[in-house]
Amino acid sequence: CDNMCSFCVVPYTRGRERSRDSHSIVNEAAELFNNGYREVTLLGQNVDSYKWENEITGEKVNFAELLEKVALLNPELRVRFSTSHPKDITDEVLYTMSKHENICNYIHLPAQSGNTRVLEIMNRTYTRDWYMERVDAIRRILGDECGISSDMIAGFCTETEEEHQDTISLMDYVKYDFSYMFMYSERPGTYAAKKFKDDIPEAIKKRRLQEIIQKQKELSWQRNQLDLNKIHKVLIEGISKKSEEQLQGRNSANKVIVFPRESFKPGQYVNVLVTDCTSATLIGRAVEEQEITI
């Protein structure tokens, strides 16, 4: 990763960003598909800044173009990607997603904080307004159904109560489907460890984290309610964790859906009518598309 977020060790442990030859990525995805795989994830610390150039021919491929090349391999191959940095995700990527049904309608867009001053000392290189504008672009181009998730840090150095509330209000604005939520803990060798005092008492960090978790629970529940009584195309992943009689898979927005096993098998696509939900899981039954009119 070429970014230097002040809390993060990745740039020290993993080194500088490299963009792999696009042909090797497309070939690898094609081989996986031919071997029976039905989902690939283009993975990088910061996939949106992918930029490959062939020094001899001058051929250039950016992330939106790479995404499209992989999506065009076969409509039965689902394509996901992670992680997007809010400063780098472009409208071109969003339009490419909207063009191909097999590029999953889901974006992991870590905010880390909802407050511009905190984002600045985290060295995230975007502001709250910039982040909100990117979310507006996602909603405009990909609609409300696009799943969005985040990473959030509670109690970063010097974070005030008002700044913590900005994180909560950003969550309300975006309506995340889910989030990975942590209390700040200092990582040796990072800029924050060297330059900032880890000055928020543990009890306050814990309480702020609890508020973030509680907010996310409410939002996940609300978001899952919107999926009720709709048919979702599910790629079956395997037996449900809770019952041998149930299968589980994911819809395009990366939500886990559980439904009766019948004679379906992992790796198949199935249309599932969602009839119930918890804040973590959608529950339904397989249907023929024409069986239901919504």
Binding site for ligand SF4 (CB under 6 A): 1, 3-5, 8, 10-11, 45-46, 85
Closest CA to 177 of 217, 142, 204: 217
CB of 130 to ligand SF4, least distance (A): 15
CB of 21 to ligand SF4, least distance (A): 22
User: Are the C-beta atoms of 154 and 182 separated by less than 8 Å?
Assistant: yes
Tell me whether residue 9 or residue 280 sits nearer to ligand SF4 (CB atom). 9
Q: Length of the chain in residues, anyone? A: 294
Tell me whether residue 8 or residue 138 sits nearer to ligand SF4 (CB atom). 8
158-183 exposure pattern, b = at least 16 Cβ within 10 A, e = fewer: ebeeebbebbbebbeebbbbbbebbb
β-strands 256-260, 269-277: how paired? unpaired
- The answer to whether the bond into 96 is cis (omega within 30° of 0) is no
First to last CA, the chain: 45
Tell me whether residue 46 or residue 220 sits nearer to ligand SF4 (CB atom). 46
User: Are the C-beta atoms of 80 and 254 separated by less than 8 Å?
Assistant: yes
CB of 175 to ligand SF4, least distance (A): 23
Tell me whether residue 3 or residue 82 sits nearer to ligand SF4 (CB atom). 3
Tell me whether residue 5 or residue 257 sits nearer to ligand SF4 (CB atom). 5
CB of 272 to ligand SF4, least distance (A): 34
CB of 7 to ligand SF4, least distance (A): 7
User: Are the C-beta atoms of 45 and 83 separated by less than 8 Å?
Assistant: yes
Tell me whether residue 193 or residue 228 sits nearer to ligand SF4 (CB atom). 193
The token duo for 278 is 């918890």
Closest CA to 245 of 233, 235, 260: 260
CB of 51 to ligand SF4, least distance (A): 16
- How far apart (Å, rounded) are the C-alpha atoms in residues 127 and 275? 39
Tell me whether residue 30 or residue 193 sits nearer to ligand SF4 (CB atom). 193
CB of 3 to ligand SF4, least distance (A): 4
The token duo for 213 is 């978790």
